[in-house]
Structure 1
Amino acid sequence: MAWQPTHKQQTRERILSSAAKLFTTEGFDNVSIDQIMHNANLTRGAFYAHFTSKSALYSEAILASARNSVRSLPNGFSTCELTSAYLSEEHVKGLNRRCPLAFLVTDIGKQDEQIRNTYTRIFQGMINMLESSGLDREKALQQAVLMVGGVAIGRALNDDSLLAELLHSCKNLA
């Protein structure tokens, strides 16, 4: 039986989804190609039909993860709505989405130029989104750093009351 015309793209999307989930929770070095493919219910051999290397997959997976985070936003969102959703306990705990800007901030600096270029493009996209909501460039940069930093630090905390205080403080400043 022949594959459906969309089979290859669907398989690629399964791999990207699996990789995005595992990379944002475990980082690049703690995830193997075998783990990604097992999580996608595919064999390791299928990996090489779609990606040239783990690094290439990482770059595409963080881009896909960022796109999915943006798609989850309501149409016509305000800066306040974006900030509130981003600086939420649900986001910090990775319940609904895992923005690679905050979830991978310490991992990216150890990666190759291609991956760092992708991360830079995602960060620039966040700044552009904030600018398009009415902030000037400097305020958009400040807001982006506050949001990413708030979530990244929040992920490291093990005190729920301190986390709530941190998120509340970041929202107020934003």
Structure 2
Amino acid sequence: MRYSASHKAATRQRVLEAGGALVKREGFATTGVDQLMSAAGMTGGAFYSHFESKQALLREVIGRELERSRELLLADGEEDGAWLANMLDRYLTMGHVRHPETGCPLPSLAAEIARADLDTRRACEEGMVAIQRDIAARLDSGAEAWGLISQCVGALVLARTVASDEVARGILAGARRMLEARFGGDASREAV
């Protein structure tokens, strides 16, 4: 049976959505093609009709997920001074710690992306640079934008590595206090 182009595109999006969530939760290297397709409600045999390789899927997942992170973190209409507090409210949360499948791909996949092929690393770089440019425009400093991004991603990685919620909350709160002390904002908010 031959499917329409729109059906194929919708199926591809379903695989990207389900596969993206799965690899952010379980890791890319340990997730097989059958698992990726099963997460989308399909059989493994259909994978190569949508993607040329598993690396091609990772590339698309990274690009898509970083764009989502950029849109979420730097929502339109937040040009006032509250943008930093609002961004940290969305990123440095216990929900983000506990549910990597719904958040930024960098804390979950950065080490795997670093070992990926050049095209995948370029896709990641492109997404990261887009986020950095948006933040730099608000901070008037490209270097400080990279610092803010690094601190947020690093804090989330560390918070995910510890066993207790108390320590994880402390890591997130410490990062937030440092960032707000440097860039201004309301450091009294706690990680939820």
- Do Structure 1 and Structure 2 share a fold, with TM-score over 0.5? yes
Which amino acid in the other structure matches residue 121 of structure 1?
A: E
3-state DSSP class of the match of 2:77? coil
Which amino acid in the other structure matches residue 155 of structure 1?
A: R
Identity of aligned pairs, percent?
28
Which amino acid in the other structure matches residue 94 of structure 2?
A: E
TM-score under structure 1 normalisation?
0.90
Alpha-carbon distance between aligned partners in 1 of 2:119 and 2:26, rounded to the nearest angstrom: 20
- 1:124-165 Cα shifts (integer Å, max 9, x gaps): 122112113334112111101101111111111112111111
Aligned match of 1:142 in 147, 164, 184? 147
Aligned match of 2:157 in 138, 152, 158? 152
3-state DSSP class of the match of 2:49? coil
Alpha-carbon distance between aligned partners in 1 of 2:84 and 2:154, rounded to the nearest angstrom: 17
Alpha-carbon distance between aligned partners in 1 of 2:29 and 2:96, rounded to the nearest angstrom: 23
* Aligned-residue RMSD, C-alpha: 2.0
| Post-superposition offset of 1:55 | 0.5
Q: Does 1:170 align with 2:175?
A: yes
| Post-superposition offset of 1:30 | 0.5
Q: Unaligned regions of 5+ residues in structure 1, if any?
A: none
3-state DSSP class of the match of 1:28? coil
For 1:56, the equivalent position in structure 2 comes to 56
Q: Does 1:87 align with 2:92?
A: yes
* Equivalent residues, number: 174
For 2:189, the equivalent position in structure 1 comes to none
Matches within 5 A, 1:39-54: 39-54=39-54
| Post-superposition offset of 1:40 | 0.5
Q: Unaligned regions of 5+ residues in structure 2, if any?
A: 180-192
Sort the Cα spacing of 1:85 and 1:58 in 2 relative to 1 into closer, same or farther, 3 A.
same
For 2:188, the equivalent position in structure 1 comes to none
